[in-house]
């Protein structure tokens, strides 16, 4: 029986993880559920999984959860311990009872708890990208020291993890990550300037949280994945290629020194990589659709257009630059994505804001997670300032245009 803490239980990955866990009640029990603010969903999860501890993002959300639970039939004596905030997240992830931590909070809010779990040698299923993008060096050093292995849940890295089992690491020459190309693969560069958040949120193959969906449309998500792959598997940025594969069925490929390429192929269902992380090195039957090989299909592969999607180029540049550049890349992107979702900046401006933030914030080597979080905060402040400047200019432009139109 494995005891789990689930960081980000109410999100897309969190819900899929509980779907897998709920099928094998004799194999898993939940120590803690950690989430942001969705109290309705949390209350439902508490009923079904009876965790010992539940942690919300803020005290106000904890109060709302208490009111919500009071409306249900669950007797108070079986309620979990209800906590909130950053320290409670760390304690939920590092409790001596816990064998496995699923890291699926979105953003740097998930960093400290994941890092501390790694320091204590917990097995970690890693979905959260920001952990490695913002703090890859410190996190991987901690994993080496504690001797724990991070099992990637992101489908491409999970695929790569599987492909790498086919040979020795020293025999590998190249990693190839696939990208769907997002909803704007066929959109002209000119038309990208007027795409809306609703269009950008309409991902062709995956159903995911908002931030990662927009990042998939700009290809920043693929850039983050290149960075994650470098840290997870010890590649340089030049050894990781990205290829557009709109069918999202081949997730990753590893090229060995003799030119042979091993690919990992499966349906677009995150429950497969989630379950792999939970059961590794064993495999179990997963509740995912199988590919029907009697059906005719075509899979296509092409090079990404870096001129149309500069975010991917910026991610490579940041990884090559090293130090805190990737932390700044992530922080600036989060601010720019939020501004785009609020319709304050255009879609192409997301990458422009990130590029300008990278130019303004000097890279340095963080010595601790606290320092990473400081760099994250100061990068956000710079990105916010750039968004403000751009929004004002664009507002002025819009004003002038509407006056002319009148």
Residues making contact with ligand NAD (CB under 6 A)? 8-14, 34-36, 38, 57, 104-107, 109, 127-130, 154, 206, 208-209, 212, 270
Q: Which two tokens stand for residue 296?
A: 């005719």
CB nearer Mg ion, residue 80 or residue 246: 246
Smallest distance, ligand NAD to C-beta of residue 11, A? 2
- Sequence-distant (6+) residues with CB within 8 A of 326 are 133, 134, 136, 227, 315, 318, 319
CB nearer Mg ion, residue 219 or residue 358: 219
Smallest distance, ligand NAD to C-beta of residue 156, A? 8
Q: Residue 35 touches which of ligand NAD, Mg ion, none (CB < 5 to 8 A by kind)? A: ligand NAD
- Sequence-distant (6+) residues with CB within 8 A of 24 are 284
140-152: b (≥16 Cβ within 10 Å) or e: bebbeeeebebbb
CA distance 141 to 372: 15
Q: Name the residue number minimizing CB distance to ligand NAD.
A: 11
Site for Mg ion in 41-70 (CB under 5 A): none
Binding part of the chain for Mg ion, among 140-148, 152-160, 338-346, 366-374 by CB under 5 A, reads 152-160
Q: Residue 310 touches which of Mg ion, ligand NAD, none (CB < 5 to 8 A by kind)? A: none
Smallest distance, Mg ion to C-beta of residue 93, A? 23
| Sign, Cα dihedral of 373, 218, 337, 60 | negative
**DSSP β-bridge partners for residue 28:** 2
Q: Residue 325 touches which of ligand NAD, Mg ion, none (CB < 5 to 8 A by kind)? A: none
Q: Is 228 in the site for Mg ion (CB under 5 A)?
A: no
CA distance 339 to 388: 9
Select from 154, 215, 255, 333 the one that contacts Mg ion (CB under 5 A).
154
- Asked if omega into 139 is within 30° of 0 (cis), the reply is no
CB nearer ligand NAD, residue 133 or residue 356: 133
Q: 133 phi and psi, to 5 degrees?
A: -65, -45
* Secondary structure E strands in 162-260: 172-179, 240-244, 250-256
8 A C-beta contact, residue 369 and residue 134: no
Binding part of the chain for Mg ion, among 95-103, 151-159, 347-355, 360-368 by CB under 5 A, reads 151-159
Chain CA centroid to CA 169, Å: 25
CA distance 181 to 11: 23
Residue 396's CB is within 10 A of a number of other CB atoms, namely: 10
CB nearer Mg ion, residue 69 or residue 150: 150
Q: Residue 228 touches which of Mg ion, ligand NAD, none (CB < 5 to 8 A by kind)? A: none
Q: Name the residue number minimizing CB distance to Mg ion.
A: 154
Smallest distance, ligand NAD to C-beta of residue 154, A? 4
**In which residue are the tokens 């709920």 written?**
22
The 53-56 sheet, strands edge to edge: 81-84, 53-56, 28-34, 2-7, 100-103, 123-126, 150-152
Q: Residue 333 touches which of Mg ion, ligand NAD, none (CB < 5 to 8 A by kind)? A: none
CB nearer Mg ion, residue 124 or residue 382: 124
CA distance 331 to 108: 9
CA distance 329 to 351: 10
CB nearer Mg ion, residue 51 or residue 107: 107
Q: Residue 101 touches which of Mg ion, ligand NAD, none (CB < 5 to 8 A by kind)? A: none
**Which of 92, 100, 116, 103 lies closest to 3 in space, CA to CA?**
100
Taken as a whole, the chain contains a residue count of 406
CB nearer Mg ion, residue 95 or residue 154: 154
Tally of CA atoms within 13 A in the half-sphere of 206 that contains its CB: 29
CB nearer Mg ion, residue 142 or residue 212: 212
Q: Residue 10 touches which of Mg ion, ligand NAD, none (CB < 5 to 8 A by kind)? A: ligand NAD
Kindly state the helix (H) or strand (E) to which residue 39 belongs, with its residue range: helix 39-49
Q: Residue 106 touches which of Mg ion, ligand NAD, none (CB < 5 to 8 A by kind)? A: ligand NAD
Question: What number of chain residues touch Mg ion (CB under 5 A)?
Answer: 3
CB nearer ligand NAD, residue 62 or residue 390: 62
Smallest distance, ligand NAD to C-beta of residue 145, A? 24
Q: Residue 208 touches which of Mg ion, ligand NAD, none (CB < 5 to 8 A by kind)? A: ligand NAD
CB nearer ligand NAD, residue 206 or residue 256: 206
Contact residues for Mg ion (CB under 5 A)? 154-156
């Amino acid at each position: 029986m494995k005891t789990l803490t689930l960081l980000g239980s109410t999100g897309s990955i969190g819900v899929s993880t509980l779907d897998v866990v709920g099928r094998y009640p004799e194999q898993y029990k939940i120590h803690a559920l950690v989430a942001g603010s969705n109290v309705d969903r949390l209350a439902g999860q508490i009923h079904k999984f009876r965790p010992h501890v539940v942690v919300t993002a803020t005290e106000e959300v904890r109060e709302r959860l208490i009111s919500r639970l009071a409306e249900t039939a669950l007797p108070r004596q079986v309620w979990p311990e209800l906590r909130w905030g950053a320290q409670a997240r760390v304690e939920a992830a590092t409790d001596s009872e816990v064998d496995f931590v699923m890291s699926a909070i979105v953003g740097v809010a998930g960093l400290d708890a994941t890092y501390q779990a790694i320091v204590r040698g917990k097995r970690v299923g890693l979905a959260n990208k920001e952990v490695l993008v913002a703090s890859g060096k410190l996190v991987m050093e901690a994993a080496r020291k504690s001797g724990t292995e991070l099992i990637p849940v992101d489908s491409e890295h999970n695929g790569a993890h599987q492909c790498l089992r086919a040979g020795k690491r020293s025999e590998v020459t190249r990693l190839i990550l696939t990208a769907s190309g997002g909803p704007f693969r066929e959109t002209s560069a000119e038309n990208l300037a007027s795409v809306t958040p609703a269009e950008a949120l309409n991902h062709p193959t995956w159903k995911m949280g908002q931030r990662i969906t927009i990042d998939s449309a700009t290809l920043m998500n693929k850039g983050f994945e290149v960075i994650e792959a470098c840290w997870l598997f010890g590649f340089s940025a030049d050894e990781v290629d990205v290829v557009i594969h709109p069918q999202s069925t081949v997730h990753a490929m590893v090229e060995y020194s003799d030119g042979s390429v091993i690919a990992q192929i499966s349906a677009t269902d995150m429950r497969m990589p989630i379950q792999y992380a939970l059961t590794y090195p064993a495999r179990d039957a997963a509740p995912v659709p199988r590919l029907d090989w009697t059906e005719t299909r075509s899979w296509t592969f092409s090079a990404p257009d870096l001129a149309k999607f500069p975010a991917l180029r910026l991610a490579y540049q940041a990884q090559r630059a090293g130090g805190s550049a990737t932390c700044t890349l992530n922080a600036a992107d989060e601010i720019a994505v939020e501004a785009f979702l609020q319709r304050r900046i255009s879609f192409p401006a997301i990458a422009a804001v990130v590029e300008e933030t990278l130019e303004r914030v000097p890279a340095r080597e963080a010595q601790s997670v606290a320092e990473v979080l400081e760099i994250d905060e100061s990068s956000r402040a710079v990105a916010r300032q750039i968004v403000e400047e751009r929004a004002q200019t664009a507002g002025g432009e819009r004003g002038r245009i509407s006056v002319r139109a009148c």
